[in-house]
Amino acid sequence: MNAHAPVAPPQTNALAPDVSAYVQQAGEGLHMLHLMVEGVHCGGCVRRIERALTAEPGVIEARVNLTTRRLAVTWRGAATLGEALVGTIARLGYRATPYDPRQLASGDAQAERCLLLAMAVAGFAAGNIMLLSVSVWSGHVYEMGGATRALLHWFSALIALPALVYAGRPFFASALGALRDGRTNMDVPISLGILLASGMSLFETIRGGEHVYFDSAVMLLFFLLIGRYLDLRARGKARAAAERLLALGTDPVTVLAADGRSQVLPAERVAPGMTVLVAVGERIGIDGRVLTGRSEVDTSLITGETLPQVVAAGNPVFAGTINVVAPLRLEATAVGKRTLLAEIVRLMEAAEQHRAKYVVLADRVARLYAPAVHGLALATFLGWTLLAGVAWQTALLYAVAVLIITCPCALGLAVPAVQVIASGRLLGKGVLLKSATALERLATVDTVVFDKTGTLTLGRPSLDHRMPVDRSALELAAALAGASRHPLAKALCLAAPGVPVATDVEEVAGQGLRLVTAGGEVRLGSRVWCGVTDVDEESSGPELWLARSDRRPVRFAFADPLRPNAGEMVGELRRRGLGIELLSGDRAPTVAQAAAELDIEDWRFACTPADKSARLKELADAGRHVLMVGDGLNDAPALAGAHVSLSPSSAVDISQNAADAVFQGERLQPVVEVLDVARRAARLIRQNLGLALAYNVVVVPLAMLGMVTPLVAALCMSASSLLVVGNSLRLRGRS
């Protein structure tokens, strides 16, 4: 949560990830860096970033990919320039995270390219065979000679057979895999239909027959490949953009060897008992106990607590927290899989397994579909041979027509077409869908559970403007605060922008700041540090005091403000009839205040990650479909265990990985948006499946009666597919 730099203010860049590890050699004296850039949503952003970067000395090329929100920048010069370039992007107001393209060039990209190639080949073949087929069909009317027809059939076969072998591979492989496991899936009837149709057509071609189905077989494949491609793209694109590498969480650890030399080790190679040095602003990589030093640790990642906690010799610290004030020397007590951080990850994985196996609607349809189609085709064949007594070749031709006409063109497009449009629409609103089934699950949500810190609130303290503040006191305080990385000090600086930082400010860990001026000593810090004894003022919540020798101490109160429109969003959710709950790891008064402001009746405080998981399980057992919205590591198990989950893009990496969808920006409006789009998408998917079913009900009897010629098959297939796609496009309209 607040471990990350917020999107806008550049002051908070101190915790920006280390990019040097991601800089790559790109030839002679050239370096290259791949970054994921958040907040890019239009051509203007692309241009601003590219311009700013190319204006930097040494930069040769900067190219933003608007689809995946990624940036590749190449420069001539030292590798360390990368740091400055990330700073340049941050100053423009975008958050950039480095990534390793090799790690992302996963199976999906390969599969996508493979499908696209197959689609291109199938499309080419379908178009050309259709040209020939139209001639043949016209020939039926104008009495084309048998030799010419045979020639055209042979040409069709020549194009169709290699194309089918090449473009059909994805289906054949999947069908074969299913059969080997003793299952059946949608690809079995598809493969069988294609193979039978082309085999039968080849036979007819050799025999000089009148009807061949090459065009239908190839067109079928083409439509199905479009569906497959859209399906993969809907998932792949969004997931790739949301994919933050967990590697960022495994920062290297500085270990002090016995001979006094320091050494940087990867976290997993640190052994318990080793002495570890932690610099200011560094994320602690291990669980340990403080040996020497006094500092404050930002534990928001683990506990959700907004304010850093004071640690001194003997206190435990945990991996994933950030050292804020002064350097620390630790003794490692647990590393790797033994840390609290790893414990939470395990909890999350366990929760994920508990999540009921969700079967996508399309798969449920497919389970009924395959046996039905095979049964009908077999019935047709047997009916014609046994009852009507026609030649087996003719009967087989009719059976093939049944297989072709029932082949799930429209069915294959019904779901992916809607999903692509829905996810494209959501992407435009800054929501990235990561899970393929997220849309379907979102549509059934009846309860929304929120985390507080970082989700409903911004997750960083800011000066409470409800208290009257003396301007000159604020400016003096900000001048001191500029020297510190403490979140409250940063908040003070933000409240008084443009105030120059005072020099010679001394920081005493866990206490405050001190500056000696001509007019006496000025102190900024805790109540005790500033010598405030009278407790007459209300004292809840985080605060800083400013003490000057000649005047009364001034109090600055801080609050973690709610995200803009949080109240409105809660109201809109309630209007849609959804139950709302608040589960927070924070203390009772702060949670109560937030709940009161948002008018949420069900709230729980001081929840551990396990408590949150337990509550979600309770809700699930009561038959509720819960949407969990959270961002912290402490929410990760709950996110993984909820029916469906959503997290802001400011969330920690693990939470983003656990969530089904990620939304960008400071506003919470996307929560409502996502639910609305999901519900409409679910409605359209059901309509599409209905249309596909209605089509089958009409044409299957015709096919079984042997009335479907290749021409009729081609018309029916294209018409039903167009109808389904057209219906899906309605999602794009009204907003």
Partner 1 sequence: MSGLLYLIPIALALGLLGLAAFLWALRSGQFDDLDGAAERILFDDEER
Catalytic residue positions, numbered? 451
Q: Does 132 bind partner 1 (CB under 8 A)?
A: yes
The residue range among 110-118, 330-338, 368-376, 677-685 that interacts with partner 1, by the rule CB under 8 A, is: 110-118
The answer for residues whose C-beta is within 8 angstroms of residue 312's C-beta and 6 or more apart is 290, 293, 294, 510
Footprint (CB under 8 A) of partner 1, residues 65-94? 65-68
Q: Which two tokens stand for residue 708?
A: 């479907």
Nearer to partner 1, 290 or 420 (CB): 420
Q: Residues 234, 115: contact at Cβ < 8 Å?
A: no
Nearer to partner 1, 80 or 110 (CB): 110
Nearer to partner 1, 155 or 358 (CB): 155
End-to-end CA distance of the chain: 31
DSSP, res 345: H
Task: Give the nearest distance from C-beta 149 to partner 1 in angstroms.
Answer: 11
Nearer to partner 1, 54 or 394 (CB): 54
Q: Does 709 bind partner 1 (CB under 8 A)?
A: no
Task: Give the nearest distance from C-beta 90 to partner 1 in angstroms.
Answer: 21
Q: Residues 39, 270: contact at Cβ < 8 Å?
A: no
Alpha-carbon distance 549 to 322, whole Å? 34
Q: Does 465 bind partner 1 (CB under 8 A)?
A: no
Q: Residues 584, 417: contact at Cβ < 8 Å?
A: no
Identified binder of partner 1 from the candidate list 10, 20, 47, 719, rule CB under 8 A: 47
Identified binder of partner 1 from the candidate list 43, 93, 208, 690, rule CB under 8 A: 43
Task: Give the nearest distance from C-beta 671 to partner 1 in angstroms.
Answer: 24
Footprint (CB under 8 A) of partner 1, residues 150-209? 151, 155, 159
> What CA–CA distances, in Å, run from 312 to 141, 274, 304, 326, 417?
94, 18, 21, 11, 58
Q: Does 146 bind partner 1 (CB under 8 A)?
A: no
Q: Which two tokens stand for residue 605?
A: 């405080």
Tell me whether strands 447-450 and 579-583 are parallel, antiparallel or unpaired. Answer: parallel
Alpha-carbon distance 389 to 379, whole Å? 14
Footprint (CB under 8 A) of partner 1, residues 264-283? none
Nearer to partner 1, 350 or 729 (CB): 729
The secondary structure of 242-285 as a DSSP string is: H---GGGG---EEEE-TTS-EEEE-GGGPPTT-EEEE-TTPBP-
Identified binder of partner 1 from the candidate list 78, 105, 117, 379, rule CB under 8 A: 117
Identified binder of partner 1 from the candidate list 49, 59, 64, 410, rule CB under 8 A: 64
Alpha-carbon distance 293 to 313, whole Å? 6
Identified binder of partner 1 from the candidate list 18, 100, 106, 113, rule CB under 8 A: 113
Alpha-carbon distance 137 to 718, whole Å? 17
Determine the residue type at 8: A
Task: Give the nearest distance from C-beta 137 to partner 1 in angstroms.
Answer: 16
The residue range among 126-134, 293-301, 354-362, 576-584 that interacts with partner 1, by the rule CB under 8 A, is: 126-134
Task: Give the nearest distance from C-beta 688 to partner 1 in angstroms.
Answer: 24
Q: Total number of residues binding partner 1 (CB under 8 A)? A: 25
The residue range among 120-128, 325-333, 542-550, 723-731 that interacts with partner 1, by the rule CB under 8 A, is: 120-128
Task: Give the nearest distance from C-beta 539 to partner 1 in angstroms.
Answer: 52
Strand partners, 98: 35
Nearer to partner 1, 137 or 605 (CB): 137
Name the phi and psi angles at 544, rounded to 5: -130, 150
Name the phi and psi angles at 4, rounded to 5: -95, 150
Q: Residues 217, 164: contact at Cβ < 8 Å?
A: yes
The residue range among 58-66, 90-98, 215-223, 648-656 that interacts with partner 1, by the rule CB under 8 A, is: 58-66
Determine the residue type at 480: L
Q: Which residues bind partner 1 (CB under 8 A)?
A: 42-43, 46-47, 54, 64-68, 113, 116-117, 120-121, 124, 127-128, 131-132, 145, 148, 151, 155, 159
